[in-house]
């Protein structure tokens, strides 16, 4: 499976626990180097190194655009030889793929197998782009050279099956430390890191970013009256409905108890307001049964956006959204309040 650099929280987790070769150079760094070379050499959107059975461990719903590309690559078998789809729409194996037919509309794909010391295929070096390309014989040789370079890196670092298994286990352990064990979303540490990282990315791209705080109304009372196991079951259902309202590259995390933070890269204040309202309606659309009781769940939400607060830090944006959430609760709950400059949100 594909190892990505900016996705599935790898940047937040860090790579210091990945095994090192004799020179102190980690396989993670080797893969990143091959990816940088491939992306620059061919001028494509992304270059991936895909190793069989090496899991990314990330939920698709939490991923960025590059990691959606990784999902595409992960779902394809390692080729037996050089494989090129100059235009994926015309390729028999790819033209019906959901990421070709629909967003993000992948158009070009090329892959070359990676062999181990026993000449067995263990993965591939892959290229992905969003415009059809002409991939000539010289390009094919260059991609083969890139795969050979990585094969040499593997042999030099003695990347045995045991090492690959250790990498997989380490990545899963690091991921477990960043996910909520009950509901499977990012935990507070992870969602805070996601917010900080996305704010940097959006500022560099001159795009807005929005965030939403969502709080399940009267959840403490539900726990008291029906017991914590029933409350936990409701939280799982709430998370499922919240996820259905956001895009694949948005991030959802448990911030505190029954309070969730949603990070919306590239979303304006108008979009964040619409997303929060969609979440509110999704939660109250169907009553939930606990035994013989029927509960009408509702949420309160507060939103804040960098297009309204362009100079705000991550902490300041959180503060604005928390005040908006508090104002929503004060207004009677089951509503959405947006933070705006110059407004005093008393609570």
CATH number at residue 283: 3.30.70.270
pTM attached to this predicted model: 0.53
pLDDT computed for residue 53 by the predictor: 58
**Can you give the residue range of the structural domain that contains 270?**
188-338
Statement: residue 313 has pLDDT above 70: yes
Query: Considering the domain boundaries, does residue 113 fall inside one?
Result: yes
Residues 123 and 232 in one domain: no
Query: Considering the domain boundaries, does residue 238 fall inside one?
Result: yes
Last residue of a domain, one of 128, 145, 176: 176
With cut-offs at 50, 70 and 90, classify the pLDDT of residue 155: confident
Distance between CA atoms of residues 19 and 216, nearest Å: 43
Residues 23 and 167 in one domain: yes
With cut-offs at 50, 70 and 90, classify the pLDDT of residue 163: low
pLDDT computed for residue 297 by the predictor: 94
CATH number at residue 154: 3.30.450.40
Statement: residue 61 has pLDDT above 70: no
Residues 248 and 297 in one domain: yes
pLDDT computed for residue 20 by the predictor: 41
As a whole number, the mean pLDDT across the chain is 84
With cut-offs at 50, 70 and 90, classify the pLDDT of residue 165: low
Residues 167 and 202 in one domain: no
63 or 238, greater pLDDT: 238
Residues 277 and 315 in one domain: yes
Query: Considering the domain boundaries, does residue 92 fall inside one?
Result: yes
pLDDT (average), residues 136-156: 90
Residues 216 and 302 in one domain: yes
Total domains in the chain come to 2
54 or 208, greater pLDDT: 208
Residues 199 and 245 in one domain: yes
Q: What's the token pair of residue 19?
A: 């095994």
Residues 202 and 151 in one domain: no
CA-based R_g, the chain, Å = 23
Statement: residue 260 has pLDDT above 70: yes
Query: Considering the domain boundaries, does residue 111 fall inside one?
Result: yes
Residues 119 and 47 in one domain: yes
pLDDT (average), residues 175-196: 86
Last residue of a domain, one of 176, 207, 231: 176
Report the helix count and the strand count for the chain, using DSSP H and E: 11, 11
Residues 294 and 315 in one domain: yes
Statement: residue 85 has pLDDT above 80: yes
What length does the chain have?
347
Is 275:304 a contact under the CB 8 Å cutoff? no
Statement: residue 332 has pLDDT above 80: yes
Query: Considering the domain boundaries, does residue 16 fall inside one?
Result: yes
Residues 274 and 308 in one domain: yes
Q: Residue 244: what are its φ and ψ, rounded to 5°?
A: -70, -10
Query: Considering the domain boundaries, does residue 347 fall inside one?
Result: no
Q: What is the dihedral of CA 282, 287, 288, 291, to 10 degrees?
A: 180
pLDDT (average), residues 6-13: 43
Query: Considering the domain boundaries, does residue 324 fall inside one?
Result: yes
Query: Considering the domain boundaries, does residue 5 fall inside one?
Result: no
Residues 286 and 143 in one domain: no
């Amino acid at each position: 499976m594909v190892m990505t650099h900016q996705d599935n929280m790898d940047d937040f987790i860090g790579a210091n626990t990945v095994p090192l070769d004799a020179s102190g150079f980690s396989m993670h760094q080797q893969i990143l180097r091959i990816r940088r070379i491939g992306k620059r050499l061919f001028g494509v959107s992304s270059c991936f190194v895909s190793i069989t059975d090496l899991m990314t461990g990330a939920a698709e719903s939490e991923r960025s655009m590059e990691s959606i590309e990784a999902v595409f690559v992960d779902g394809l078998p390692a080729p037996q030889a050089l494989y090129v789809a100059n235009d994926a729409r015309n390729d028999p194996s790819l033209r019906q793929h959901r990421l070709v037919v629909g967003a993000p509309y992948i158009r070009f794909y090329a892959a070359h197998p990676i062999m181990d010391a026993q000449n067995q295929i263990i993965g591939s070096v892959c290229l992905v782009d969003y415009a059809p390309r002409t991939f000539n014989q010289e390009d094919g040789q260059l991609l083969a050279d890139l795969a050979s370079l990585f094969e040499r890196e593997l042999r030099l670092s003695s990347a045995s099956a045991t090492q690959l298994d250790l990498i997989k286990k380490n990545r899963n352990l690091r991921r477990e430390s960043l996910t909520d064990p009950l509901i499977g979303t990012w935990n507070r540490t992870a969602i805070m890191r996601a917010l900080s990282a996305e704010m940097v990315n959006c500022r560099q791209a001159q795009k807005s970013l929005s965030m939403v705080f969502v709080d399940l109304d009267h959840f403490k009372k539900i726990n008291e009256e029906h017991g914590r196991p029933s409350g936990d079951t409701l939280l799982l259902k709430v998370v499922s409905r919240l996820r259905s309202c956001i895009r694949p590259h948005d991030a959802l995390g448990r911030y505190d108890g029954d309070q969730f933070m949603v990070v919306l890269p590239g979303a304006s204040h108008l979009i964040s307001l619409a997303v929060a309202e969609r979440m509110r309606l999704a939660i109250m659309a169907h009553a939930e049964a606990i035994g013989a009781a029927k509960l009408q769940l509702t949420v309160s939400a507060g939103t804040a956006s960098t297009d309204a607060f362009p100079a705000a830090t991550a902490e300041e944006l959180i503060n604005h959204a928390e005040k908006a959430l508090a104002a929503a609760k004060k207004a009677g709950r089951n509503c959405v309040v947006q933070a705006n400059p110059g407004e005093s949100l008393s609570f």
